Structure 1
Amino acid sequence: MTDEDRPDNDDFEELLRGLLGGQGGGLGPEQLEQLRGLGVDPAMMQQVLRQMQSAFASGADGIDWNAARTQALHLANQDGQGIGTGDRQDFGQAFSLATLWLSEATAVSELASAPRAMTRGQWVEATLPVWQELAEPVANSIADALTAAIDSQTPDEMKGAIAGAGRFMRTIGGSLFAAQLGGVIGRLSQEVVSGGDVGIPVMPDGEAAILPQNFADFGRDLEIEPDQLALYLATRELAHARLFRHARWLRLHVISQVTDFARGIHVDMGALEELATRFDPSSPDELKAAIESGALLPQRTDAQTTALERLENLLATIEGWVDIVTADATSRLPTADRIAEAVRRRRAVGGPAEQAMGSLVGLELRPRRLREAAAMWRAVTDAVGVEARDSLWDYPDLMPGPGDIDDPAGLIARLQARGRGEAPPRDAMDDALDALLKSAADDTGDAPGDTDADRPEGPRPV
């Protein structure tokens, strides 16, 4: 195309205004010809036209998460089933008995609100704010990448005419990601059995729930009586919810570690541009698959790998405690060990929706060191008892770390010394603090522990 054949900026600006301003939502013959003259595929423009008009009308700069909610609820409610009165009564009784059993197995206090049976749709509504918070850094990264791609590929003479297009494309990219996230959450609602099933605190603070619609699927191949399975799962769910209510700081600690990891994710521009060269707007499955599979997300950086290891240790520490407390509370159940092993295998492998979530946000929420962490909590419980064990959740600096999972002996020694009223054994942190204080004292000319009373008498400077 020669410069004489190319429409000028006024023509393009008028065309863009017509496309985004509504005008029936269609492309007339004259507009189609103008698009061809600009080298734009009219079929692709038809695909995004309605979304661009919506973005133009709303004037919003942020990501519209309504698409996630709509898609998630559509999948969660598609079977049309609710919860029968019998299910509510059965799980109500299971929660009541589990509450009594837990009072013998942990010093962590009961919940303030009653646990409940919950539909899939209710689970979506309750947990969506947390999923949105976890996924928002990735959604912003994809949206920003689309904006950058538009800017880098637009000729300088046309940037003034389409100055607002980047904002619209950012909204469209974010909305596309939000819709994919909603699909994953909707499918996840068909798999989870309880509020704490995914390991992170997605439920509102202090709430516990079981999803009867998924309960039967979980126990179908276990050959275990439903009442025993319900008692075990109710006990585990209550233990998880109690812990996060007791340790108020723990919820923020987990969420912040997940979002810190997610903020380091950036879209692979090479993969995005390579996909754009063969993108067929009449068949968007490839773009959808690329977003869901994580193909647009580059490999983890060293910093992200370190952050992921910290998060895995934290999740393992939490779920290890839940495992041990649940095991002690359900010791009366003949099939408790079989159910516990089934739960551990399920958490280690993850369901299809959980795997999709890992691909979508680049993060797998699995406690890979669960067995080692559970062994640590068992050793601590046997050595110092329930109250001393649970006191480790009172403050963040008391919580066991990765080194304690590797070797619980040091943690047990500290707890035993504290129980006797003795100073805890020295560790590397103490040595490092002493070295820091000595260095500061050397800089000021004072020896550690010097006071005015220790100095020789004489005239003092004014």
Structure 2
Amino acid sequence: MTNSPDRPDEPEDSGIPPELEQVLRGLTGGRDLDPQMVEMLRGMGLDQVDPQMLQMVAGQVQSMFASADESGSVDLGVATDIARKTVAVQGDPTVASAVDDEARQAVSVANLWLDAVTDLDHTGLVGRAWSRSEWVEATMPVWRELVDPIAIGVGDAMGNALTKQLGALGEGGLPEGLVPPGTNPAAMMGQMAPMLRRMQGSMFSVQLGQAVGTLAGEILTAGEVSLPLVPAPNVVLMPEAIDAFAQGLEIDAPQARLHLAVRESARTRLFHAVPWVAPQLLAAVRDYAADTTIDTDAIEEGLRSIDPTDAEAMQQALAGRLFAPQQSSAQKAALARLETLLALVEGWVDVVTAAAVKPHLPQADALGEAIRRRRASGGPAEKTFAGLVGLELRPRRLRDAANLFAALEASGGAEARDAAWSHPDVAPDAADLDDPLGYVERVRSDAKGDDWDAGLDALLRGETGGDRPTDS
């Protein structure tokens, strides 16, 4: 834009309605509008739109993109708002104080039972009953952190694909009057790139909100997906989902609540008492997301069939998952770490929970098997989330991990089972899940070597009364 020589501090009239100009400035970071963009908007007839209608549309657009940035990053406010609206449609009653008391009591009992089977610390852990919207509010910052790299990557790929398509079309391939004569459409798209990234970031935020909101209606406890979404001291139960789960199994609801309280308490203890587990889980998800390769060929193919000026058609194209992440070598490595850790966490939780509830709950076996099948298959919301980020949060090798921890317990008791978490270097890996007995034997051999070294050291310091360490 140029300034008038008589009034150099005032911008020249662009010829388009001020409401539209205000929206466009907001989407371009407050910068002056490019003259070619202004001409394009005139060619589309937007300077003739009814001002009242335009003002209403402008308000909606500004609301949607108010806090979006040019990187295409997930908008936390938009995602959270959409997730809350999603759970409201499902029905999300406020948790009554009596229901919250039941959760506190269930977690207190769960910790008493767990104390008998594991020494992992649970100091300060407190039971909570949350509504779906409370879970959304508490966990959405973590979800955003995990998927942000994918949102930015998809936005860049979408903009590049659209620029490439328009460049291939050229001026003659676009509707007459859409761009000024002599304008390079691809160059214009480059100038509009920040706006497109804002739009894509907001659309991805909507999709994330829908996925998390749907997931909130299905989870039984805050950490059921095996990620540390809610930090200690909260051990969170989802009462509406637990009641429906118990009813579907035709199992007594208090038993189901206690069983799930034990599982969630065990999982929270693990994240709380073993400081390296939670960071490594989240790091594996972030590493996977950060190296996501967007299928630009699929995006370009989809854009060939739509009008590039039709925003609604573009959004439908995105909703159709035109981006299909392909696994790079780095992603495969991150996925292997993630799947192994997910399996180890849930396998340990499975074994510890079974030991804790067996003496107390008559339907413990049926509940345990139902939960294992549920985690192995994944619910509809998990599939929705997998479609959004290209990643399934399922412990595929849960039974293998459970067998490994059961073998450790059979060999050296609960202490040997829990010692597997003492350091990431000694924790089981994917190969150990293939050969749990070999892992147990190696652990026993290492323990025997440590005992022999300790005995020799004591002998040299004269603390054993002359007894020599033996190999037996």
| TM-score over 0.5 for the pair | yes
What amino acid is the match of 2:296? M
* Equivalent pair of 2:150/2:292 in contact (CA under 8 Å): yes
SS at 1:115's partner residue?
strand
Name the CA shift for 1:51/1:137 in 2 (closer, same or farther; >3 Å).
farther
Distance in 1, matches of 2:331 and 2:94, equals 41
* Equivalent pair of 2:92/2:131 in contact (CA under 8 Å): no
Question: Are 1:244 and 2:253 matched, yes or no?
Answer: no
1:104 aligned residue: 116
Question: Are 1:402 and 2:413 matched, yes or no?
Answer: no
How far off its partner does 1:404 sit? 1.6
Per-residue CA deviation, residues 241-264 of structure 1 (Å, 9 max, x unaligned), is 100111111111011111111122
Name the CA shift for 1:187/1:254 in 2 (closer, same or farther; >3 Å).
same
Distance in 2, matches of 1:23 and 1:363, equals 35
Question: Are 1:385 and 2:413 matched, yes or no?
Answer: yes
Give aligned pairs, total: 408
TM-score (norm 1): 0.78
2:176 aligned residue: none
* Equivalent pair of 1:20/1:52 in contact (CA under 8 Å): no
Distance in 1, matches of 2:202 and 2:142, equals 17
Identity within the alignment, %: 37
Distance in 1, matches of 2:137 and 2:207, equals 17
2:76 aligned residue: 65
Distance in 1, matches of 2:192 and 2:214, equals 33
Distance in 2, matches of 1:201 and 1:375, equals 23
Distance in 2, matches of 1:59 and 1:235, equals 41
How far off its partner does 1:106 sit? 0.9
Question: Are 1:231 and 2:242 matched, yes or no?
Answer: no
Give the one of 337, 345, 358 matched to 1:310. 337
Distance in 2, matches of 1:59 and 1:124, equals 20
Name the CA shift for 1:113/1:165 in 2 (closer, same or farther; >3 Å).
same
Distance in 2, matches of 1:57 and 1:148, equals 24
1:74 aligned residue: 85
* Equivalent pair of 2:105/2:127 in contact (CA under 8 Å): no
Alignment of structure 1 residues 245-264 onto 2, 5 Å? 245-264=272-291
**How large is the Cα RMSD of the aligned pairs?**
3.6
| Deviates further, 246-255 or 57-66 | 57-66
How far off its partner does 1:33 sit? 9.2
1:428 aligned residue: none
Alignment of structure 1 residues 136-285 onto 2, 5 Å? 136-152=148-164, 153=166, 157=184, 164-279=191-306
Unpaired segments ≥5 residues, structure 1: 1-9, 26-30, 425-462
Distance in 1, matches of 2:125 and 2:375, equals 27
SS at 2:425's partner residue?
helix
Question: Are 1:93 and 2:120 matched, yes or no?
Answer: no
| Deviates further, 84-93 or 334-343 | 84-93
Per-residue CA deviation, residues 300-351 of structure 1 (Å, 9 max, x unaligned), is 3454334323321221111100000000000121111100110011111111
What amino acid is the match of 1:120? R
Name the CA shift for 1:377/1:293 in 2 (closer, same or farther; >3 Å).
farther
Name the CA shift for 1:142/1:391 in 2 (closer, same or farther; >3 Å).
same
Per-residue CA deviation, residues 6-53 of structure 1 (Å, 9 max, x unaligned), is xxxx9997659873324999xxxxx9995474799x99xx89966765
* Equivalent pair of 1:91/1:117 in contact (CA under 8 Å): yes
Distance in 1, matches of 2:60 and 2:160, equals 19
Name the CA shift for 1:289/1:309 in 2 (closer, same or farther; >3 Å).
farther
How far off its partner does 1:378 sit? 0.3
1:350 aligned residue: 378
* Equivalent pair of 2:343/2:395 in contact (CA under 8 Å): yes
Unpaired segments ≥5 residues, structure 2: 1-10, 27-36, 171-182, 453-472
| Deviates further, 379-388 or 108-117 | 108-117
How far off its partner does 1:159 sit? 7.2
Distance in 1, matches of 2:67 and 2:25, equals 17
Name the CA shift for 1:285/1:407 in 2 (closer, same or farther; >3 Å).
farther
How far off its partner does 1:84 sit? 2.0
Distance in 1, matches of 2:324 and 2:13, equals 34
| Deviates further, 15-24 or 221-230 | 15-24
How far off its partner does 1:90 sit? 2.0
Question: Are 1:362 and 2:363 matched, yes or no?
Answer: no
* Equivalent pair of 1:13/1:161 in contact (CA under 8 Å): no
How far off its partner does 1:388 sit? 2.4
* Equivalent pair of 2:284/2:334 in contact (CA under 8 Å): yes
What amino acid is the match of 2:219? V
What amino acid is the match of 2:70? D
Distance in 2, matches of 1:56 and 1:116, equals 35
Name the CA shift for 1:363/1:179 in 2 (closer, same or farther; >3 Å).
same
SS at 1:358's partner residue?
helix
Distance in 2, matches of 1:299 and 1:159, equals 27
Distance in 1, matches of 2:325 and 2:24, equals 41
Name the CA shift for 1:421/1:13 in 2 (closer, same or farther; >3 Å).
farther
Distance in 2, matches of 1:138 and 1:264, equals 8
